[in-house]
Structure 1
């Protein structure tokens, strides 16, 4: 009987300890270095921004904030490493909206739903995408491109940085909205993709500014539209999708967030959210974002989930209609 009472008392103490930890203010967080695992390769746009943010967070927290690049495996290498970490706030995971919203549809047999294993904790930025064509392309507008694709079913090629990427799914969405049929050409290397667009080996692709600016500045690419409802200051002469004669409802973008493994106390998640928002507001961070045409975001975790849900519905339909799989 005494043994049973001891077990009950121990269980109650553990439950109380967990409850107190979840409710207590995170005034002592962090008390040791924090690691941010990312599926993005070193030197990429998201990695460059993350390193600047990590440096600012480290100064704010008076602790080292380490970036651990784990590219490959469709994001699962980074995801699995972060998922195995203790749910204490000392391991964060940087993911884009496609890792959150598209990945469950692309790897159905894994039965992996990202937000069943992680909680969104802070938003970082959103990336708009342009439609890039070779400089000598005869297409001057999206209207020209769509007309050509309709007139030559399956003959017009577009490149992307991988199956299931925003560049691929954006192309699928363009086909869906216009009734056109085009040939998708996935690339392993982003640099090779835009080099081949510039040389005309593929007819067009979606492109972010940081990934395509080298070829653009070399005079080999033109942007004929931005897949967004309004123009951006960095490229004020590039028309919106609707202004260029494309489908007004086509928006192609990707947002990047920080997540924690399920089980991190709410107070610590709130602390991380508030401190990341402070860092995102830093003028140096804003200036770097402007360079990349990244839109800074200060979403709550609930807003991240709502925006991911919207994308998940769109991506789920596109994956189903296109019979796309990464199994």
Structure 2
């Protein structure tokens, strides 16, 4: 081979190597750029319950701040129905691109798989966990004109009048329905369950006196309790909550009674990690915001802001916890 040909070949090969290195460098630079490009349009946050309930309240507080962090609006879309299955199923089948996410709850990811004979999604495999946002206590309330002023008085009244009194909840198989069923079992009383399509409609009838008793999430009942439109008898968590230190825990009368709800963000399974990371960071910033924390604290929601792995573990734990409770309650939905 001549020197000229050798030099030409060497230069060409070197150029190829340089081009390959440049392409690799561009690829390396492109990956962060791709991550930063999400989201390039608004994100839809599906709330699988009617407006007015605690899940809706938490979602709207968090969505606004997430939008600030993402640089794109996070739009809350209420898709109530089938105890949360409709909205959850919608997200499970959505494009896994991060633009459709779910405000999941203990109902969608722990209770419904045990309650429903047929369900359109798998709580573990059809979703990519983003973050557990808050834990939310529930509360037992009555209309202010109702005779019972304590948990013990309610139990005594119900025992003396089996089947006479009814309690409202946000729907068949909801955490609040099962809070009521657990109460009935431990107290040995017969109360009639009246299901509603969400906490909002149930609150209206309890305040109006159409139904005397309700199990509700603390967030949606807090202002009504403070205003005297409802009388709170007890919180459903094992211990009292800081925002209502004088309100007894039901467990003080019924040892072992402990139920609560939680709100968490999920994306469809297969959503790119870059999108999950961006959504997680925005969600954690949202619940860490002092104004958001103050509003959540007003109705006793406890901020968590977990990572995706912790949320995945929670779902497994909750599924195992609630399955026997649902079975013992006899609740089953076709």
Above 0.5 in TM-score?
yes
Once the two structures are overlaid, the 10-residue window that deviates more, 209-218 or 29-38, is 209-218
CA contact (8 A) 1:195 1:215 kept: no
- 1:32 aligned to 40, 46, 56, which one? 40
After superposition, what is the alpha-carbon deviation per residue over 1:162-218, rounded to whole angstroms, capped at 9, x for unaligned? 111122100111123233332212223634433443455434221234433464355
After superposition, what is the alpha-carbon deviation per residue over 1:55-82, rounded to whole angstroms, capped at 9, x for unaligned? 3222222233332332224323322332
Q: What's the offset of the Cα at 1:102? A: 0.9
After superposition, what is the alpha-carbon deviation per residue over 1:261-290, rounded to whole angstroms, capped at 9, x for unaligned? 111233432342233112210111112212
TM-score (normalizing by structure 2): 0.80
CA contact (8 A) 1:172 1:318 kept: no
Correspondence 1:320 to 2:327:
yes
Give the match's secondary structure for 1:242.
helix
Once the two structures are overlaid, the 10-residue window that deviates more, 266-275 or 128-137, is 266-275
C-alpha spacing 1:242/1:75, structure 2 compared with 1 (3 Å): closer
- 1:81 aligned to 78, 81, 90, which one? 90
CA contact (8 A) 1:45 1:292 kept: no
Q: Which residue of 1 aligns with 2:20?
A: none
- 1:53 aligned to 62, 69, 82, which one? 62
Correspondence 1:275 to 2:258:
no
Distance 1:307 1:181 in 2: 32
C-alpha spacing 1:47/1:199, structure 2 compared with 1 (3 Å): closer
C-alpha spacing 1:292/1:266, structure 2 compared with 1 (3 Å): same
Correspondence 1:237 to 2:242:
no
Correspondence 1:140 to 2:149:
yes
C-alpha spacing 1:64/1:324, structure 2 compared with 1 (3 Å): same
Runs of 4+ in 1 over 6 A off after TM superposition: none
Q: Which has the higher Rg, Structure 1 or Structure 2? A: 2
Q: What's the offset of the Cα at 1:222? A: 1.1
RMSD over aligned CA atoms reads 2.8
Distance 1:294 1:320 in 2: 28
CA contact (8 A) 1:131 1:204 kept: yes
Correspondence 1:305 to 2:312:
yes
CA contact (8 A) 2:199 2:216 kept: no
CA contact (8 A) 2:138 2:260 kept: yes
Give the match's secondary structure for 2:318.
helix
TM-score (normalizing by structure 1): 0.81
- 1:219 aligned to 219, 225, 228, which one? 228
Correspondence 1:254 to 2:288:
no
Give the match's secondary structure for 2:145.
coil
- Ranges in structure 1 where 5+ consecutive residues have no aligned partner: 1-19
Once the two structures are overlaid, the 10-residue window that deviates more, 281-290 or 200-209, is 200-209
Give the match's secondary structure for 2:107.
helix
- 1:101 aligned to 106, 110, 118, which one? 110
Correspondence 1:177 to 2:186:
yes
Q: What's the offset of the Cα at 1:29? A: 4.6
